[in-house]
Amino acid sequence: MMDICKRLAVGRDKLDRFMDLPINVIHQIQDHMSIEDAARMSILSSGLRYVWASNPKLVFGAQFYLNRKLPGKTDIISTIVSQHHGAIKTFYSIIHSPQHSVVDEWMLLLSGNGLTDLTLNNLKDAKAPYRLPSCVYGVELERLDLWNCIFRPPCSFRCFRKIKTLALRQVSFELDVATSSLWMPNLEKVLFMQCSGIRHLNIYAPELITLVFFGCGTDCLKLGPFMDCVKLKLFAISFEEEVSQNRQDKAVKLTNLLSSWPNITLLMLDRYFLKFFASGTGAEKLPASLNRLRVVNFHNYDFDGVNQIFPLLCILRSSPNLKALTFLLCQRKEGDMEVDLNLLEGPHCMTQGLDNLQTFEIKNFHGSRTELRFVRFILASAPLLQKPIFLVDRSVNESRSSEIRKKLMQFPRASPKSEIIYKQYCWEEEARRVLVG
């Protein structure tokens, strides 16, 4: 009996010390727990019940949904939101089509309760996208993350004045003239992934640092307004498919676009973007050097496209401090024409060396004449290059692969420490490496 009493006394002492912690610290501890565990903790004392019910961060993620049947989940969230004490700053939830009307009720409660960070993941297999209710557009959000939703603001909407991060995936924009131009004075990061209806969207964001477009190629991209984003550091764009030229922003050329971003440090471009925005680059150099550009990544690139070689050379000419250059090549087809190799030779090719280049990698390497000529130029121009990596495409047979390897090893190198790494490209292995981190 004495042992039991001692254990109870020790337990109460530990609980009292835990309760003596500041409430914001207890909230931070609960943030690392599941909703279920935080609820179980609340039964230990009346004080903890209040602490749990006042946590400003509510996250109903995959673990919460996997542990319950669909009908019960909605009721639990509704109860937690309606009985919550104090502000709810952060709200994250996976949602389904059958519960959209209930989600509207959550949004109404949250919109008047200090919400600053909202994430709604309407599952891809949902029967319909979720239409963001009008009450959300009046909230002073700092972060908005939407999946499979409809963005249709009321006519009175002009901007999210305080928003800093905007991530939109599979979002359909339904805009009219009144809501097509949005002024977001504090916006720093924007991601558009597989969005539609953005042809009328004009975002003006003078503080923008990161701009990413992925898989929005079926729609028109108005990049003109982003030319005023002089603080931009990261620009990534990938159409992922062939798009009609007459749907693109003809007023914007690649040279004009890059010249508008003097602070750019990372570029990720794909071949479809280069094809439609490279007009007029020719053998030009940008009006102003990209002195802060450190990393360039070309996705789905084709060395045998003249409209891609010109922009590539233009960027290299204008990037004296480039440190990393990476290519993921597209699949070659039978009968593909090779470009004029003279484009990669002579004084018109480059007016300066790549004195700061340290990383050079080509994935899906085929060893075409154009690819080899470009590689030879890089190896001879980069005195700091250490381990250039060539991951050969699976379609290249063993005999041809050995021939390519032999040619690579014979190329002169400006860097005495350059050690060529040459092996077969395995995208499954790379995917695992990325996922593991």
How does the average pLDDT of the chain come out, rounded? 80
Q: Are 305 and 339 in contact (CB under 8 A)?
A: yes
What CATH number does residue 266 fall under?
Answer: 3.80.10
Task: Please indicate, yes or no, if residue 323 is contained in any of the structural domains.
Answer: yes
Q: How many CB atoms within 10 Å of residue 7? A: 10
**In the prediction, which pLDDT does 401 show?**
93
Q: Are residues 235 and 262 in the same domain?
A: no
Please say if the pLDDT value at position 284 is more than 60.
Answer: no
Determine, yes or no, domain membership for 265: yes
Q: Which of 55-59, 359-363, 417-421 has the lowest mean pLDDT?
A: 55-59
Total residue count of the chain as it appears in this document: 437
CA distances, 344 to each of 213, 269, 306, 321 (Å):
30, 20, 11, 20
Is 79 inside any structural domain? Answer: no
**Are 277 and 230 members of one domain?**
no
The predicted pLDDT at position 197 comes to 86
> 233 and 166, same structural domain?
yes
Higher-confidence residue of 281 and 227: namely 227
Asked if 294 and 323 count as a contact pair (C-beta separation under 8 A), the reply is yes
Label the pairing between strands 181-183 and 359-365.
unpaired
Closest CA to 81 of 34, 113, 49, 41: 113
Each residue's pLDDT tens digit, 162-190 = 999 999 999 999 988 777 888 999 999 99
Residue 301: domain span: 257-332+342-436
Q: Are 86 and 50 in contact (CB under 8 A)?
A: no
pLDDT tens for each residue of 425-437 = 876 666 555 444 4
| Structural domain total, the chain | 2
Element (H, E) at 79: helix 70-82
Q: What's the confidence (pLDDT) of residue 16?
A: 45
- In the prediction, which pLDDT does 339 show? 61
User: What is the Cα–Cα distance from 120 to 361, expressed in whole angstroms?
Assistant: 37
Pair (305, 213) in one structural domain: no
| Shared-domain flag, residues 236 and 267 | no
